[in-house]
Structure 1
Amino acid sequence: MIQSITSIQSLSQERIDNMHQLQQQSYLVEQQLLGIDPFPPLLETKQGLAASDEACLIRCDVENILGFLQYVVTDNQLVINKLVVRPDYFRQGIGRDLLQSLIKQKRDSSILVETAQKNTPAINLYEKLGFRQTTQFYVEEGIEIVRLERT
């Protein structure tokens, strides 16, 4: 089941705690993949997540959050800020389902996302769903970033 949330602030503290825990688990795997320490996304606190006014999609089973996608909408453009999946559900279609749901809901918007160049699983997923690489650049942590867009 995918649940659409207009703002993370509208979620219960328990749900936010679960999302934060999932985010930490997922980003630890990404940190190892990228070889970056400290990895900036791991520094986000529960309070920071709870204060976000971003919209999100959450994929759940009966008891657990399996993944979530956070995004913001500006004019005719949508920017994905996070796509997080429980590590024990990697490569089982959770991320794909969240992205496809977002694409379906926001048909008239172009969608932008940025990820590390070394994050080939994410890049492959985005490209399979019609995203194209538009730009590459480095951020201050020395990470090479790829910007992808779907129009």
Structure 2
Amino acid sequence: MNKPMPDDLATLWYLTRRVAGLMDRASEALFQQELGISLAQFLVLSVIDAHPGPLNQQQVADRLGLTKGTVSRQIDHAVSAGLVAVRPSPHSRRENAVLLTPAGTDLVRRGDTALHRDRTAFLPRLDPDDMHAAIRVLSAMNDALSPAHGAHR
């Protein structure tokens, strides 16, 4: 038996989706204008950059909550643009590892700088305690709803 969703949870859900959509649209425009790449491309490059050592495509997909096929297309574009190199995985002959090239690393740094500049110019100054509380709540929800924690969908 499903209980009705509490008003606070419904409001949190709505606002989270709305803010994420608005941030995605603004970031898409920013990355297209300043870097000539999509938000999806930037996210893939950022995940590769943030991980120490090589990742395979499935690991990138898992970190972004995307399909392996979607990530594969983004990686193919990045390889063509000289931003990512694909090498045989040191852990498995059946997998490839993806690594940023120096041009890919430079692009991520420029994107991080542009994103930081854009956010500080347009978002209100949020109280650090409020920001940390929001991060704690969203992290707890993310953990609770993640398939790894047995959440039912």
Q: TM-score, normalised by structure 1?
A: 0.29
Say which structure, 1 or 2, has more relative contact order (CA 8 Å, 6+ apart): 1
Q: Pick the structure with greater CA Rg.
A: 2
Q: Which has a greater percent of strand?
A: 1
